[in-house]
Structure 1
Amino acid sequence: MIDPPLDLDAVWAFTLIADHGSFTRAAEAMQTTQAAVSLKLKRLETRLGCRLVERTPRHVQLSTHGLTFLEHARALRGAHDRALTAFSGARRRLIIGISEHVAGPDLPALIARMNAQDPHLIIEIRIASSGDLLQSFDRRELDAAIVRLHVGRDDGEMIAEERFVWYAAPGWKHHADEPLPVATLAEPCGVRAMASQALDAASIAWTEIFVGGGVAAVVAAVNAGLGVAALSPRMVPLGAVDVGARLGLPALPRLPILIHSRAKEDRSHNALAALAAAFRSAVRG
């Protein structure tokens, strides 16, 4: 009797579990349920006759067999995608806009996740402010936009909510008799508006000490000891410290990250689902 072939969908589920370190994130990338992903993995393990993933209350990690099989699983996925590409005509291009305050240092890993999802999809990333990206999306210049919540828009799908903290360089001190020096992005910027509104509501005198054209510039200003900045923990420069409690600064609200998409074709839709799942992992992780 000939043994049945491997289920490619189960192999895909396994690679996503390995990439995300989570059954939940893998299910989000596949647009299915965690129970369905668990069942796919169980059937794959039964077919191979070994355990691929070790589950603990806090962690999901590959077993020795899982680490060995991962290379073969990726090869199977790659061969499958190449076979489809050979008969699909021109390579598909996916143009994605990502907000400056959303991309962050995780962007290389996020792009790698998308490439692992579909190595033959051409990915074009554009970085700009949320407002500019939404205008480009409305002009149909983008297939998708990942942005902060924008006033007057309710057509996006929320990926995650991200927290913000007041950061400054270690050893930096504020002179109590002077307005709080704040480093921000140029207007329009949702994080800038959120931070200024929180300070005004708390009746804290403040002044712009630095206006950057990008988050990297704001981070550099913090590192240089110019003042404080409202940043998400993902963006925090090495060594920077949370000074909110010490300076009596107001707590900052969480800001939603949303994805606006018109991608209907399966490959593009699946790649964006993988990207959204990766963002959830980065923000919550």
Structure 2
Amino acid sequence: MIERALDLDAVQAFVRIAELGSFTRAAEASRTTQSAVSLKLKRLEERLGCRLVERTPRRVELSAQGLTFLAHARKLLEIQEHAFADFTAVRQRLIIGISDHVAGPELPALIARMNAQDPQMVIEIRIGTTGDLLQSYDRRELDAVIVRFDAGRNDGEVLTEEKMGWFAAPDWTHPAGEPLPIATMAEPCGVRIMALQLLDEAGVPWRESFVGGGVTAVSAAVMAGLGVSALARRMLPFGAVEVGPKLGLPALPRLPVLLHSRVKDDRSRDALTALAAAFRSAVQS
């Protein structure tokens, strides 16, 4: 009789490649090497007798057979998780803080990726400023935080570096001779401090036109025509335009996004690794 059993580790490697669009990210999420992921995929393709992934110079894409198999693969992994859940009553909790300047439109997909990694884990997400989250982390109220770079720390893992820019509504104009109206978050927001310091160093007169409690509020003020704001491109409201070069504003540096974590158990580490890989893939895609 022909052996028909599938290696579920190989199936999971295939799903991660499909979801993250990268062998490198899939390896990172699995805490293994790219060559190991490639070998698992090769064995799975040999078992199924077809090519699941088409490798291109820029990224990987699923073949027609791969697209068909993906739904079956996810179902297989879901059945496996349900089987384990029937015999494990403990629901572990992982509390993660994410900076308001980092929690972008891809957050639902990131949470879904963590849930797919471990459906039995309770994931608690708290949104706040970098300073507040780091203080909570230091008080051991959070297991991990993903925040913008903080000048007073060097204990985090760099997930990515994001380009910042000066953005305004498409129909906004700067009245000649008046200070530049700035929409920003309240202190002690690190992006605010950096942006205003650069304006001062460049000799650009400015005034506060709006102070918001989060990026969503600041973005709304920008699109309402209240002024200019320093934002990451990933966080832009639809229709916002970059005005820095036109107004001669100082260039903004690329700002690192860091993961600070103290988790040591394998389940939590696996969930965070999956989150980090998914975040890098989303930001750089």
Give the TM interval when normalised to the shorter protein.
Answer: over 0.9
1:151, distance to aligned residue in structure 2 (A): 2.4
Alpha-carbon distance in 2 for matches of 1:45, 1:198 = 54
Using the alignment, how far apart are the partners of 2:120 and 2:156 within structure 1?
A: 27
Q: Cα deviations across residues 132-187 of structure 1 (Å, max 9, x unaligned)?
A: 11111111111111111112211111111111011100021112311111110011
Deviations 1:15-39 (A, max 9, x none): 1111111112111211222222112
Which deviates further from its counterpart, 131-140 or 214-223? Answer: 131-140
Structure 1 unaligned spans of 5+: none
TM-score by length of 2: 0.96
Paired letter, 1:238: F
Q: Segments of 4+ in structure 1 off by > 4 A? A: none
* Cα deviation, residue 282, structure 1: 2.2
The CA deviation at 1:191 is: 0.8
Corresponding residue for 1:222? 222
TM-score, length-scaled by structure 1: 0.96
Unmatched segments (≥5 aa) in structure 2: none
Q: Which residue of 1 aligns with 2:247?
A: 247
Query: In structure 2, how many angstroms separate the alpha carbons of the residues matched to 1:129 and 1:188?
Result: 8
2:60 maps to 1:73: no
Aligned residues: 285
Identity of aligned residues (%): 69
1:270 matched residue in structure 2: 270
Take 2:47 and 2:246, find their aligned partners in 1: how far apart are those partners?
Answer: 57
Alignment of 1:1-285 (within 5 A): 1-3=1-3, 5-285=5-285
Cα distance in 2, alignment partners of residues 21 and 80 from structure 1: 23
Please give the per-residue CA displacement for 1:88-135, whole angstroms capped at 9, x wherever unaligned: 332111111100100022111111111122222211100011111111
Aligned-pair CA distance for 1:80: 1.9
Provide the C-alpha distance between the structure 2 equivalents of 1:283 and 1:261, rounded to a whole number of angstroms: 20
Q: Distance in 2 between matches of 1:11 and 1:266?
A: 20
Aligned-partner SS, 1:101: coil
Q: For the residues of structure 2 that align with 1:43 and 1:78, how far apart are their CA atoms?
A: 21
For the 8 Å contact 1:20–1:281, the answer to whether it is kept is yes
The separation in 2 between residues aligned to 1:276 and 1:182, in whole angstroms, is 32
In the aligned structure 2, how far is the partner of 1:237 from the partner of 1:154?
31
Q: Tell me, in whole angstroms, the C-alpha distance in 2 between the residues paired with 1:10 and 1:198.
A: 50
Q: Secondary structure at the match of 2:106?
A: helix
